[in-house]
Structure 1
Amino acid sequence: MFQEYDVIVVGAGHAGCEAAAAAANMGSKVLLATMNMNTIAQMSCNPAMGGVAKGQIVREIDALGGYSGIITDKSMIQFRMLNRSKGPAMWSPRAQSDRMRFAEEWRLALEATPNVDFWQEMITGLIVEGQRVTGVKTSLGLEIKAKAVILTNGTFLNGLIHIGEKQFGGGRSGERAAKGITEVLIDLGFEAGRMKTGTPPRVDGRSLDYSKMEEQFGDEEPGKFSYMKTKPLQKQRSCWITYTNTDVHDVLQTGFDQSPMFNGRIKGLGPRYCPSIEDKINRFAERDRHQIFVEPEGWDTVEVYVNGFSTSLPEDVQYKAMQLIPGFEKAKMFRPGYAIEYDFFPPTQLNLTLETKLIQNLYFAGQINGTTGYEEAACQGLMAGINAHLKINEKEPLVLKRSEAYIGVLIDDLINKGTNEPYRMFTSRAEFRLLLRQDNADLRLTPIAHEIGLATEERYQLTIEKMHGTKTLINDLKQKKYKPADINPKLAAIDSAPVKDKSSLYQLLKRPDLKLSSFEQLDDTFASYREKIAPEVQHQAEIQVKYETYIQREQENSEKLANLDNKKINPEFDYQKITALSAEAREKLLKVKPTTLGQASRISGVTPADVSILMVYLAK
């Protein structure tokens, strides 16, 4: 009935979709197995993509040839660039999405990918021969052979949904949990754990009074995520902001004794940076209000997502408290919020390629690795799909460095430090964030993706054009020079300090108060010159000139890190022989089995002194 596939992807969430698309577009014959074909790429939580650091990840996925950026551009209803008041390293794109259209666009994109086949059924087991995975087993007893398998099971592995004192099996509201895989993996020797996440109630937007809320508009000139020529938004839908109050908190607290989080029924750890409303009230008792974002679910639906009100309290307590929020006095609930517990596998059991250390050609991606968020899952799926294809074709793996991508930071953190709570990406996790901006992901990553056969020729040529255009513009700015007598009166007219020597536009652009657009007032020919240059080229050149010194400093630091990453270690190296290492370092190094000295230095519990000892020993 089934041919032997190159890659089988289990699960069709954000990680599974990117994994299937990447492996297929590189030439692998892929089977995407899901329990429900109607929930492919479902946005299980908030209807949005991007945000602080997450927006950078979506740009990186797009630069590598993934689909998330293109799908987001096709289905967004609002776009905002966050943190514009800060430096460009902090600028983060965020899009409000149409939930139904996002999933539809993903399915259509996958169906239009020739090498992707689909199968709707629960995968309950793995076929393992020796220490290598060779296929999967289904709930109907079918066996499907493959050269590599990628598990992207999300919150479905033995998923348990909690609403107050009620609990029932499920991987998502209205969908059953996945059984069998956890037990198979534990029998193979994997360590498993439990995590939890939650989601807020959904309400009928027609029952809300928006006059009592603050309107949150999209950007006047909305941007987009993909570096390809997707269409920017022509119209946008607003979001809204309101607040809880002490009356809301008092009602919520009446249900705390029935809360699965407080009475011990939930064992798994929840996301620190996306806490439930009851957790916020408990942890931040001094605050008398918390922000609530009221987010439309799409262009045409009346369903609204109540961001900031995630809860697993009894549904009657949720409803009573919610109606005390300004604007929600007559709110009608579509479905209550809930918490979900699920199995995950500590990611220290993986290599940097996301292949498991115990079983060859078996890859884990997404929430199975202890992460939270669509973007974090999608980038792991992309990298697992890429590396599964490369491995079965006996090619060198793709491992992105911390200085190359937020994706590299995320995977390096997971593999070397592990996580005992749902991992979420922040800009603060990246030590080279000025290099890893959202505006230059294509310049950083598209040449790499083109070389391995994932980025298309069209995408690559767009990147080369941007690269050459930026270089040409910067060189032109250096050539355009003015004498103090000619330029100072014009600088005075725009309240900029005079120059003492002959100065170029390149030197003037380094000033905080001047932009490329300012030069139209200094040189009559500059406006016509600028009209011929693409906006993204101007933006790129301006950042590179203004932050040149800081960028160079980060590049130098990244090169120092690269020197450590270039010092290879045999993964089977016996650290017990080096008695000078601390006991904790030996234990952690034996568990993680780093492949470079740089990786060893980033393992939790390995000190700089341990690294120095290792360096001396390796030099011998």
Structure 2
Amino acid sequence: MFPQYDVIVVGAGHAGCEAAAAAANMGSKVMLITMNMNTIAQMSCNPAMGGVAKGQIVREIDALGGYSGIISDKSMIQFRMLNKSKGPAMWSPRTQNDRMRFAEEWRLALERTPNVDFWQEMVTGLLVKDGRVEGVKTSMGLEIKGKTVVLTNGTFLNGLIHIGEKRFGGGRTGEKAATGITEQLVQLGFESGRMKTGTPPRVDGRSLNWDVMETQPGDDTPGKFSFSDTEPLKEQRPCHITYTNPEVHEILKTGFEQSPMFTGRIKGLGPRYCPSIEDKINRFAERDRHQIFVEPEGWDTIEIYVNGFSTSLPEDVQYKAITKIPGFEKVKMFRPGYAIEYDFFPPTQLDPTLETKLVKGLYFAGQINGTTGYEEAASQGLMAGINAHNQVHEKDPFVLSRSDAYIGVLIDDLINKGTNEPYRMFTSRAEFRILLRQDNADIRLTPLGHSLGLASDERLNKVNEKIKQTEQLLEDLKTIKVKPEEINGLLDEKNSARIKEKAPLLNFIRRPELEIEDLINHNEELKKITSSLDNEVVQQASILTKYETYIEKEKSLAEKMGDLDTKQIPAGFNYKEIPALSAEAKEKLSNIKPTNLGQASRISGVNPADISVLMVYMAR
């Protein structure tokens, strides 16, 4: 009934979709299996993409040739660049999306991708022989053969939904859990664990009093994620902000005795940085209010997502408390919030390619690895899809370093440090964040995407043109010189020191109180030069000038650390034979089996002295 596939992808969430698209676009024959064809790329939680550090990941996926940025642009209803008051390393794009259009655009994109076949059914197990995966088994007893398998099961592995004292199996509200895979993987020797996440109630927008809430509009000039020619928004839908209060908190507390979290019925740890409302009022008892973001689910729907009110308390307590939030006095609830517990597999059991160490040809991506968030999942799916294809076609593994991309930071953190709570990306996790900005993701990664066969010639040409134009603009800024009488008025206006002799415009961009836009508006020659340039080129020139010292310092540090990554550790290396290593280092190194000294140095519990010992030993 089925041919043998190069890559079988199990699960069609954000990780599964990117994995299937990447492998297929590189030339593999792909089978994408999902329990429900109508929920491909479902936004299970909030209808938004990007945000702090996550926006950088979406731009990186796009730069490599993935689909998430394009799909986000096609379905967005609002765009905001977060952290604009901070330095460019912190700028993070975020879109509010039309939930239904997002899923529809993803499904259509996959259907238009040659080499992708679909099958709707539950996968209950793997076909494994002599330590290598050979395909999957389904609930109907079918066997589908594949040279590699990518598991992207999300929250479905033995998923258990909690609402107050009620609990029932499910991977998402209204959808059944997936069974069989965890049990088989544990039998094969994998370690598994439980995690928890949650979601807030959805409500009827017609029942809300918008006049008493703060309006949160999108940017005046909306940007976008994709470096391709997707259309920017011409109109936007606003979000709104309101707040809880002591009365809301007191009502919520009446349900604590029935809370599955506080009574111990939920064993898995929840996301530290996206706590439930009951968690917030318990952990931050001194606060008398918490922010609630009121987010539309799309252009035309009346459904509203109550961001900040994630909860698993009984539905009657949820409803009674939410009516005390300003604007929600007459609210009609569509469905209550709930918590979901699910199986995951500690990611220290993976190689840097996301292939499992125990079973050859088997890859894990997304929440199965202990991450939270669409963006983190999508990036892992992309990398797993690329590496599954490369293995089948006997090509070199594709691994991004910590100085290459946030995606590299994410995977490096997971496989070396592991996680016992849902992992979320932050800019603070990246030590080279000045290099890993959202504005230069195309310059960093599109050449790599092109070499893989994912980014088109057109994309690469566009990046090369951006680099060329940026270099030319920097040259122009050096050559255009202004006299004191031409610039001192502007300098006075900006509280910046006057000049006494002619100076190039480049010097003024380096001043923190001046922006390149100030100079463009003040100097006719520069205005004429920049009038034909894309805003990203102008921004690039400004950032490279203003932060030149910091960028060079990070590049130098990245090169030094990169030297350790080139020092390979032979497969099967016996750390227990080196007496000078600490006991903890021996245990961690033997368990994780790093492929190089750089990876070894980033393992929790391995100290610099241990790395020095290893370097001496390997030099022999």
Which TM-score bucket, shorter chain as reference? over 0.9
Q: Which amino acid aligns with 1:574?
A: N
SS at match of 2:439: coil
Equivalences for 1:341-420 in 2 at 5 Å? 341-420=341-420
User: Shift in Å at residue 462 of structure 1?
Assistant: 1.1
The answer to whether the Cα contact below 8 Å between 2:494 and 2:514 also exists between their aligned partners in 1 is no
SS at match of 2:421: coil
1:174 and 2:174 are equivalent in the alignment: yes
Give the equivalent residue in structure 2 for 1:326: 326
Q: Deviations over 1:219-249 (max 9, x none)?
A: 0111000000100001111111111111111
- Summarize the Cα distance change of 1:555–1:244 in structure 2 as closer, same or farther, 3 Å threshold: same
Q: Deviations over 1:51-72 (max 9, x none)?
A: 0000000000000000000000
Q: Deviations over 1:197-220 (max 9, x none)?
A: 000000001001111111111101
SS at match of 2:438: coil
Q: Which amino acid aligns with 1:516?
A: I
User: Shift in Å at residue 499 of structure 1?
Assistant: 2.5
Task: Please list every run of 5 or more consecutive structure 2 residues that lacks an aligned counterpart in the other structure.
Answer: none
User: Shift in Å at residue 326 of structure 1?
Assistant: 0.8
Equivalences for 1:169-568 in 2 at 5 Å? 169-484=169-484, 487-488=487-488, 491-492=491-492, 496-520=496-520, 522-568=522-568
Q: Deviations over 1:450-500 (max 9, x none)?
A: 011111111111111111111111112112234556654665576542234
1:589 and 2:589 are equivalent in the alignment: yes
Q: Deviations over 1:577-616 (max 9, x none)?
A: 1111111110000010001111001001111111111111
Matches of 2:216 and 2:518, distance apart in 1: 30
The answer to whether the Cα contact below 8 Å between 2:79 and 2:219 also exists between their aligned partners in 1 is yes
SS at match of 1:414: helix
Give the equivalent residue in structure 1 for 2:103: 103
SS at match of 1:439: helix
User: TM-score, normalised on structure 2?
Assistant: 0.98
- Summarize the Cα distance change of 1:274–1:492 in structure 2 as closer, same or farther, 3 Å threshold: closer
1:126 and 2:126 are equivalent in the alignment: yes
SS at match of 2:266: coil
Q: Which amino acid aligns with 1:233?
A: L
- Summarize the Cα distance change of 1:452–1:513 in structure 2 as closer, same or farther, 3 Å threshold: same
The answer to whether the Cα contact below 8 Å between 1:207 and 1:332 also exists between their aligned partners in 2 is yes
User: Shift in Å at residue 514 of structure 1?
Assistant: 2.4
Matches of 1:526 and 1:608, distance apart in 2: 50
SS at match of 2:403: coil
Q: Deviations over 1:47-104 (max 9, x none)?
A: 0000000000000000000000000000000110000000000000010000000000
The answer to whether the Cα contact below 8 Å between 1:150 and 1:365 also exists between their aligned partners in 2 is yes
SS at match of 2:524: coil
- Summarize the Cα distance change of 1:486–1:156 in structure 2 as closer, same or farther, 3 Å threshold: closer
Greater mean alpha carbon deviation, residues 4-13 or residues 490-499: 490-499
Give the equivalent residue in structure 2 for 1:153: 153
Give the equivalent residue in structure 2 for 1:62: 62
Q: Which amino acid aligns with 1:51?
A: G
Give the equivalent residue in structure 1 for 2:162: 162
Q: Deviations over 1:532-557 (max 9, x none)?
A: 21111111111111111110011111
User: Shift in Å at residue 519 of structure 1?
Assistant: 2.6
User: Shift in Å at residue 511 of structure 1?
Assistant: 1.4
Greater mean alpha carbon deviation, residues 575-584 or residues 363-372: 575-584
Q: Which amino acid aligns with 2:173?
A: S
**Identical-residue share of aligned pairs (%):** 73
Matches of 2:604 and 2:209, distance apart in 1: 50
The answer to whether the Cα contact below 8 Å between 1:490 and 1:521 also exists between their aligned partners in 2 is no
User: Shift in Å at residue 526 of structure 1?
Assistant: 2.3
> How many residues get paired?
620
User: Shift in Å at residue 184 of structure 1?
Assistant: 1.2
- Summarize the Cα distance change of 1:265–1:595 in structure 2 as closer, same or farther, 3 Å threshold: same
Matches of 1:541 and 1:132, distance apart in 2: 50
Matches of 1:123 and 1:350, distance apart in 2: 21
1:94 and 2:94 are equivalent in the alignment: yes
Matches of 1:609 and 1:413, distance apart in 2: 21
Q: Which amino acid aligns with 2:585?
A: A
Q: Deviations over 1:92-127 (max 9, x none)?
A: 001000000000000000000011110000011111
Q: Which amino acid aligns with 2:379?
A: C
Matches of 2:493 and 2:256, distance apart in 1: 64
Give the equivalent residue in structure 2 for 1:49: 49
SS at match of 1:287: coil
Q: Which amino acid aligns with 1:170?
A: G
SS at match of 1:95: strand
Q: Deviations over 1:415-445 (max 9, x none)?
A: 0000000000000000000000000000000
Q: Which amino acid aligns with 2:70?
A: I
Matches of 1:489 and 1:532, distance apart in 2: 27
Matches of 1:192 and 1:490, distance apart in 2: 63
The answer to whether the Cα contact below 8 Å between 1:491 and 1:522 also exists between their aligned partners in 2 is no
Q: Deviations over 1:137-178 (max 9, x none)?
A: 111111111111000000000000000101000000000000
Matches of 1:424 and 1:495, distance apart in 2: 41
Matches of 2:164 and 2:129, distance apart in 1: 44
Greater mean alpha carbon deviation, residues 226-235 or residues 479-488: 479-488
Greater mean alpha carbon deviation, residues 499-508 or residues 126-135: 499-508
- Summarize the Cα distance change of 1:453–1:320 in structure 2 as closer, same or farther, 3 Å threshold: same
Q: Which amino acid aligns with 1:457?
A: D
Q: Which amino acid aligns with 1:610?
A: D
Task: Please list every run of 5 or more consecutive structure 1 residues that lacks an aligned counterpart in the other structure.
Answer: none
Matches of 2:130 and 2:599, distance apart in 1: 29
SS at match of 2:410: helix
SS at match of 1:363: strand
Q: Which amino acid aligns with 2:319?
A: Y
User: Shift in Å at residue 367 of structure 1?
Assistant: 0.1
User: Shift in Å at residue 508 of structure 1?
Assistant: 1.9
Q: Which amino acid aligns with 2:294?
A: V
Matches of 2:524 and 2:169, distance apart in 1: 70
User: TM-score, normalised on structure 1?
Assistant: 0.98
Matches of 1:590 and 1:493, distance apart in 2: 63
The answer to whether the Cα contact below 8 Å between 2:10 and 2:16 also exists between their aligned partners in 1 is yes
The answer to whether the Cα contact below 8 Å between 2:494 and 2:513 also exists between their aligned partners in 1 is no
SS at match of 1:586: helix
Matches of 1:499 and 1:388, distance apart in 2: 60
Q: Which amino acid aligns with 1:277?
A: I
Q: Deviations over 1:240-292 (max 9, x none)?
A: 11111111111111110111001011011111000011111111111111111
Q: Which amino acid aligns with 1:258?
A: Q
Matches of 1:205 and 1:126, distance apart in 2: 44
